């Protein structure tokens, strides 16, 4: 059985043995096929990814060579069984990578976060926290971290980055609902530092600090956010953040204040 690791360095394993191709362009083709798994990827799209609109005249032949090399790698150096043998299938104008259920970490990540979102909406933060924890444990860095990114992979990486942030938000929401304010402060400080303009993370940190009895630190987070927004964007914090500040001042903060945060 093939297993595909995409959330971090690219890895392909067959029955536990590493069969990841080593040639950079072949790895890039594999990454694109994984990003669009179980869908025919046209030759034009592969050429756009590899050469960003400056494909050589030999682009079609070169892509065909890369596909052949990819087949050999996935067959552990043995001669491929033909254009439709194994996971890589040839179509009239492109290639399709067959990826079965449970084989790709990105598929599992998306499934787990979807289940977590449903659990949270149904009032089950314990299950939501467990599921998002499992999803985030799959992430070992940005998607295809050791592969060159052309325009198509850059777009895919941005989309997966947004899903990763949403998973973080789900985990924090579940944790706050479960009263894990102290345990979350460290993670939220790290997220707030990594995303200084992300008002949801900043607001969640304010809530966690206030619920821990650290009002002065909570107000410092708000003030720092206000300065950064003003200096970087010429904006004030959102009305919800301003209302949250008032709740800190009057000691009326609760997890319900998450609904005030933008996002």
Reading the chain (263 residues) residue by residue, the pLDDT tens digits are 899 999 999 999 999 999 999 999 999 999 999 999 999 999 999 999 999 989 999 999 999 999 999 999 988 555 555 555 689 999 999 999 999 999 999 999 999 999 999 999 999 999 999 999 999 999 999 999 999 999 999 999 999 999 999 999 999 999 999 999 999 999 999 999 999 999 999 999 999 999 999 999 999 999 999 999 999 999 999 999 999 999 999 999 999 999 999 97
| CA–CA distance, 49 with 173 (Å, rounded to integer) | 37
| CA–CA distance, 39 with 96 (Å, rounded to integer) | 6
Residue of 2, 3, 7, 19 lying closest to 146 (CA atoms) = 7
Q: Which of 44, 72, 97 is the last residue of a domain?
A: 97
* Cβ-count burial 71-85 (b if 16+ within 10 Å, e if not): bbbbbeeeebeeeee
Residue 175 lies in a domain: no
Which tokens belong to 196? 């200084």
Residue 27 lies in a domain: yes
Q: Which of 47, 78, 97 is the last residue of a domain?
A: 97
CATH number of domain containing 205: 1.25.40.10
Residue 76 lies in a domain: yes
Residue 209 lies in a domain: yes
The partner residues of 8 in beta bridges, in order of sequence, read 143
Within 13 Å, how many C-alpha atoms sit on residue 176's CB side?
A: 27
DSSP 93: T
Straight-line distance from the first to the last Cα atom of the chain, in angstroms, rounded to the nearest whole number: 40
Residue 7 lies in a domain: yes
pLDDT of the residue at 84: 56
Q: Quickly count: other Cβ atoms within 10 Å of residue 151's Cβ.
A: 12
Residue 172 lies in a domain: no
| CA–CA distance, 200 with 225 (Å, rounded to integer) | 11
Q: Which of 97, 112, 132 is the last residue of a domain?
A: 97
CA 93 from centroid of its chain's CA atoms? 30
CATH number of domain containing 11: 1.10.10.10
Which structural domain range is residue 72 located in?
2-97
Residue 102 lies in a domain: no
CA 140 from centroid of its chain's CA atoms? 10
Q: How many structural domains comprise the chain?
A: 2
Residue 163 lies in a domain: no
Distances in Å between the Cα of 14 and the Cα atoms of 49, 52, 192 are 26, 32, 39
| Gyration radius (Cα) of the chain, Å | 23
Q: Residue 82 in 3-state DSSP?
A: coil
């Amino acid at each position: 059985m093939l297993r595909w690791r995409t959330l971090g360095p690219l890895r392909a394993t067959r029955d536990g043995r590493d069969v990841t191709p080593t040639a950079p362009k072949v790895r890039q083709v594999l990454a694109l096929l994984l990003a669009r798994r179980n869908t025919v990827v046209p030759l034009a799209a592969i050429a756009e990814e590899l050469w960003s609109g400056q494909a050589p005249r030999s682009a079609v032949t070169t892509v065909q060579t890369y596909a052949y090399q990819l087949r050999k790698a996935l067959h552990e150096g043995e001669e491929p069984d033909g254009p439709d043998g194994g996971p890589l299938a040839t179509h009239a104008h492109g290639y399709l990578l067959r990826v079965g259920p449970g084989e790709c970490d990105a598929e599992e990540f998306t499934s787990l976060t979807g289940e977590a979102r449903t659990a949270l909406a149904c009032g089950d933060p314990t299950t939501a926290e467990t599921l998002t924890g499992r999803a985030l444990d799959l992430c070992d860095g940005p998607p295809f971290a050791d592969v060159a990114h052309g325009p198509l992979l850059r777009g895919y990486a941005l989309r997966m980055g947004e899903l990763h942030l949403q998973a973080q938000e789900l985990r924090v929401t579940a944790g706050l609902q479960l009263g894990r304010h102290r345990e979350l402060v460290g993670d939220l400080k790290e997220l707030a530092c990594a995303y200084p303009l992300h008002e949801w993370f900043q607001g969640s940190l304010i809530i966690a600090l206030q619920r821990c009895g650290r009002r002065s630190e909570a107000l410092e987070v708000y003030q720092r956010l206000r300065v950064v927004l003003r200096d970087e964007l010429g904006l004030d914090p959102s009305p919800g953040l301003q209302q949250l500040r008032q709740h800190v001042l009057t000691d009326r903060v609760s997890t319900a204040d998450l609904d005030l945060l933008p996002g």
